[in-house]
């Protein structure tokens, strides 16, 4: 599941720390909704990470969002509607954003295989990407006067400072319910079975690598023909 919002936020570098706290409101909206989801037994467990997409620099525009794995028999229209209602409630009331906030945008897809689960987790566990937006902005700034390049570097520094400040003591990775290793209902790998599980993961990675090499060879042969 990807839990995002419609739109993006403009990050005010003049108040880097204060501006960064606005991101917490959006992450917390999903956190509270996921916790309530599990408590109401609509789903059994949720594993999620908080991310910040840096969409552009000069000006700095970002989008706080989450990626989640949900353990449930089904996540249908009723469950998604409940999640949406919780998100709206959290954004309007608990987080004091009033009516002026980005609208939630939730997308859910089923995970069918161990390989797709491994790929999804690998995608979720990644650092913030500033480089792409920085390079695009640098291409514009470097053809302008020196002030624009200096401004870009200053804004980037402020973005990193703001992000670091609010995430230093905050968990990027979160769990609730059956996906929490400390819970009695945990459905993951028990501690005494993890060595065998690591070997299974290694086999899946090897299989993925073999498939990648095979496809690459096929493409080379097609291009040569």
Distance from C-alpha of 124 to C-alpha of 69, rounded to nearest angstrom: 10
Which pLDDT does position 212 carry in this prediction?
62
- pLDDT bucket at 223, cuts 50 / 70 / 90: low
In tens, the pLDDT along 143-160 reads 767 788 899 999 999 999
Alpha carbon 173 to its chain centroid, in Å, reads 10
In tens, the pLDDT along 164-217 reads 999 999 999 999 999 998 888 998 888 788 888 888 888 887 887 777 666 665
Distance from C-alpha of 87 to C-alpha of 127, rounded to nearest angstrom: 25
Distance from C-alpha of 163 to C-alpha of 118, rounded to nearest angstrom: 27
Which pTM was predicted? 0.83
Which pLDDT does position 29 carry in this prediction?
94
Q: Which of 82, 79, 104 is nearest to 25 (CA)?
A: 104
DSSP 91: I
Helix (H, G, I), strand (E, B) or coil at 48: strand
- Pairing mode of beta strands 61-71, 45-56: antiparallel
Segments making up each domain of the chain, as ranges: 2-188, 189-225
In tens, the pLDDT along 27-81 reads 999 999 999 999 999 999 999 999 999 999 999 999 999 999 999 999 999 999 9
Question: Does residue 178 contact residue 32 with C-beta atoms inside 8 Å?
Answer: no
Could you identify the residue written with the tokens 């979720």? 124
């Amino acid at each position: 599941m990807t839990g995002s919002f419609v739109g993006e936020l403009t990050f005010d570098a003049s108040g880097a720390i204060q501006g960064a706290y606005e991101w917490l409101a959006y992450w917390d909206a999903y956190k509270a909704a996921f916790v309530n989801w599990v408590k109401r037994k609509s789903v059994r467990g949720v594993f999620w990470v908080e991310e910040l997409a840096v969409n552009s620099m000069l000006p700095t525009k970002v989008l706080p969002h989450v990626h989640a794995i949900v353990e449930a028999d089904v996540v249908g229209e009723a469950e998604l509607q409940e999640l949406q209602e919780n998100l709206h409630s959290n954004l309007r009331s608990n987080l004091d954003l009033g009516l002026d906030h980005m609208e939630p945008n939730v997308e859910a897809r089923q995970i069918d295989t161990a390989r797709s689960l491994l790929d999804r987790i690998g995608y979720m566990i990644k650092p913030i990407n500033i480089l792409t937006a920085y390079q695009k902005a640098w291409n514009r700034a470097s053809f302008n006067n020196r002030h624009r390049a200096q401004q870009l570097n200053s804004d980037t520094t402020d973005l990193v400072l703001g992000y670091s400040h609010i995430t230093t003591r905050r968990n990027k990775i979160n769990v609730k319910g059956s996906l929490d290793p400390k819970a009695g209902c945990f459905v993951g790998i028990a501690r005494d079975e993890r060595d065998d599980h690591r070997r299974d993961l290694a086999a899946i990675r090897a299989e993925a690598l073999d498939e990648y090499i095979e496809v690459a060879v096929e493409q080379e042969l097609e291009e040569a023909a």
